[in-house]
Amino acid sequence: MHIQWKKTFETDNILIDAQHRLLVMLFRKLDVSIKTRESETTILRIVQEVKRYAKFHFISEENLMYETKYPQVERHVTMHTHLLVELNKKLSKLNLRQEYPEEILEFLSDWLINHISNHDQRLAEHVGIAADRPIAELCYPEYLSCNLCNGKVLL
């Protein structure tokens, strides 16, 4: 298993992409911690970090959906809820040593390929053309200092 950022993950929404990059970086961190045989406690802490950040990221995306009146908001929110429920189950199993961290990584990798590449891509396309704009989107370039922001027209 080798998780890393790929160009195909980019949605062209600078907020979503910035958060996805950080999410993938945390998946990578988990991957490295398994390969370097870190302690169970350390690996558990990293999975917690992934979980908390995923939860934060989902709320950010959901706010974007509400602000831009995304028609498929309910469906997308349900998928986020399922992903978190599944991740919580896996985390409890890991705690009880009923699951290997590699299985969590596998789950996260599938999520990345399926959810980000399909559903988040659709959301980003909607946000790109929505008449109702995300709150404070003009502030994004000031805070999201990455090359994704260069040359973007945000209006």
Residues of this chain that bind Fe ion (CB under 5 A): 61, 120
Cα torsion at 47, 53, 55, 60 (round to 10°)?
-160
The H or E element containing residue 111 is: helix 101-111
Q: Is the dihedral of CA 38, 39, 42, 45 positive or negative?
A: positive
Question: At closest approach, how far in Å is the CB of 122 from Fe ion?
Answer: 9
Let me know if 46 is exposed, middle or buried by CB neighbors in 10 A (0-12, 13-18, 19+).
Answer: buried
Question: At closest approach, how far in Å is the CB of 66 from Fe ion?
Answer: 13
Chain residue whose CB lies nearest Fe ion: 120
Query: 99 vs 137, which CB is nearer to Fe ion?
Result: 137
Question: At closest approach, how far in Å is the CB of 86 from Fe ion?
Answer: 14
Question: At closest approach, how far in Å is the CB of 142 from Fe ion?
Answer: 22
Name residues whose C-beta falls within 8 Å of residue 148's C-beta, 6 or more positions apart in sequence. Answer: 10, 14, 17, 18
Query: 31 vs 61, which CB is nearer to Fe ion?
Result: 61
Query: 35 vs 122, which CB is nearer to Fe ion?
Result: 122
Query: 93 vs 115, which CB is nearer to Fe ion?
Result: 115
